[in-house]
Amino acid sequence: MFYHNDHLPGLNSQLPLKAKLAEVHELIQTDLPFVARISMAVYDSDTGMLKTFLESNDKGHIVSSLANHEAPIKQSTSLVKMMEEGIPRVINSLCKLPEIKLEQTKKVIKAGYVSSYTKPVYKHGEFVGFLFFNSKHENVFDKHALRQLDVFGHMLSLMIFSELSMIKTMTAAMKSSNRLTSLRDPETGEHLERMSRYSRLIASGLADKYQLSDEYIECIFMFSPLHDIGKIGIPDQILMKPGKLDEEEMALMKTHSTLGRKIVDEIIDDFNLSKIHNIDIVRHIVEFHHETLDGSGYPKGLTGEQIPLEAKIVAVADIFDALTSQRPYKEAWSNEKAFELLRDLAGKKLDQDCVDILLANTEAIRRIQQQFSDAETEVLDS
């Protein structure tokens, strides 16, 4: 009898997904040293977009030039073919491709990678994304290598999807509570669609400066619609009051952020989700999205650096959408007028970087507004 060392001890632990991928990458390299980069892109079937999600490269950078990217899958006939037919693809020399359409492929080449092995990933028969293996050498993905990468590929997908499904359980549990709130809330479902996209836009723009990973940005997108989950505990006559709230009513309304935090903590406990890396993002968004830099916000009156970045991001996205939407007590403001107010509040109440990034993306804002407009739903509802 003998004892054998586990080569992947990190997978038994509570490491973030990125660290687990790095450990598997290292093991792959003991046999296949030429595999210089492994990355995963996830597919959003609602929008047809393929988004970078996770990456491990030789340099071990948190954010590489290849992160934080999304593109419609339709831009590449070869990716669409792989998705539909489930057949992996080997490109032994990226430079010899007749035409390169995808911006991301150009960046991969620029980063020094010359060959690739791409594997479509499915869960219960449904396409969920691609695993990419890149090398800085040509003609290295031979039969022997592919056999090993197939096994590792399956393992990596399982690892990634068990984490993703935990997050999905979490959002599903919370969404049902959230739906109960939104049924009574004058804020529409479109508000949540728009503000979560503004939040992602801001987070993406901050990625370089704050070294934000794709995983973090995706969590901001998934968790931001839950910001007002605590309104479930606010009585109808306050939540649905057509006019302005008086002082006492306002004080009660303000309890929604502390209440929301309690609900989120309970859901995390009940569904045993505390092991999800980044789970604190949702706690912070729910509890602190009404805090302001100068300490005049609620519930804790936190100032500047005390406010978690995710709460600062969501605050700007939420306020911008509230201003530009119609509410029972006010007309919708034009984007320009809302920009002016945000510019005024930046650095005093709202984070300067978050405001700057939102204001620098007027085209993206307009696209989001067109795609999720309140007017359209009203027509559909009537």
**Per-residue contact string for residues 178-217; x = within reach of Fe ion by CB under 5 A:** ----------------------------------------
CB of residue 304 to Fe ion, shortest distance in Å:
20
Cα angle for residues 184, 187, 188 (degrees, 5° grid):
95
CB of residue 44 to Fe ion, shortest distance in Å:
22
Contacts 24+ apart (CB under 8 A), 15-19: 15/277, 16/215, 16/277, 16/278, 17/54, 17/159, 17/160, 17/163, 17/215, 17/277, 18/54, 18/55, 18/56, 18/62, 18/213, 18/215
CB of residue 24 to Fe ion, shortest distance in Å:
39
Residue 51: strand pairing partners? 42, 70
For Fe ion, the binding residues in 82-101 under the rule CB under 5 A are: none
Residue (205 or 297) nearer to Fe ion, CB: 297
At a CB cut-off of 8 Å and minimum separation 6, what does 372 contact?
190, 193, 194, 197
Cα angle for residues 30, 31, 36 (degrees, 5° grid):
70
CB of residue 311 to Fe ion, shortest distance in Å:
11
Residue (318 or 356) nearer to Fe ion, CB: 318
CA distance 150 to 340: 54
Which residue in 78, 169, 166, 182 sits closest to 130, CA to CA? 78
Tell me the one-letter amino acid at 373. S
Annotated active-site residue 231? The verdict is yes
Residue (35 or 286) nearer to Fe ion, CB: 286
Determine if 287 is a binding residue for Fe ion (CB under 5 A): no
Determine if 291 is a binding residue for Fe ion (CB under 5 A): no
Catalytic entry in 20, 51, 119, 231: 231
CA distance 145 to 140: 8
Determine if 228 is a binding residue for Fe ion (CB under 5 A): yes
Residue (214 or 228) nearer to Fe ion, CB: 228
CB of residue 88 to Fe ion, shortest distance in Å:
43
CB of residue 321 to Fe ion, shortest distance in Å:
7
CA distance 187 to 327: 8
CA distance 19 to 17: 5
CA distance 41 to 67: 10
In the block, tokens 């339709």 appear at: 74
Residue (61 or 330) nearer to Fe ion, CB: 330
Residue (291 or 356) nearer to Fe ion, CB: 291
Residues in contact with Fe ion, total (CB under 5 A)? 2
CA distance 112 to 218: 27
Q: Which stretch binds Fe ion (CB under 5 A): 84-92, 220-228, 345-353, 370-378?
A: 220-228
Handedness of CA 260, 215, 198, 186 (dihedral sign): negative
Q: Which stretch binds Fe ion (CB under 5 A): 15-23, 98-106, 163-171, 224-232?
A: 224-232
CB atoms within 10 A of CB 122: 13
CB of residue 289 to Fe ion, shortest distance in Å:
6
Residue (88 or 186) nearer to Fe ion, CB: 186
For Fe ion, the binding residues in 312-351 under the rule CB under 5 A are: 318
Chain residues that interact with Fe ion, rule: CB under 5 A: 228, 318
Positions annotated as catalytic residues are 231
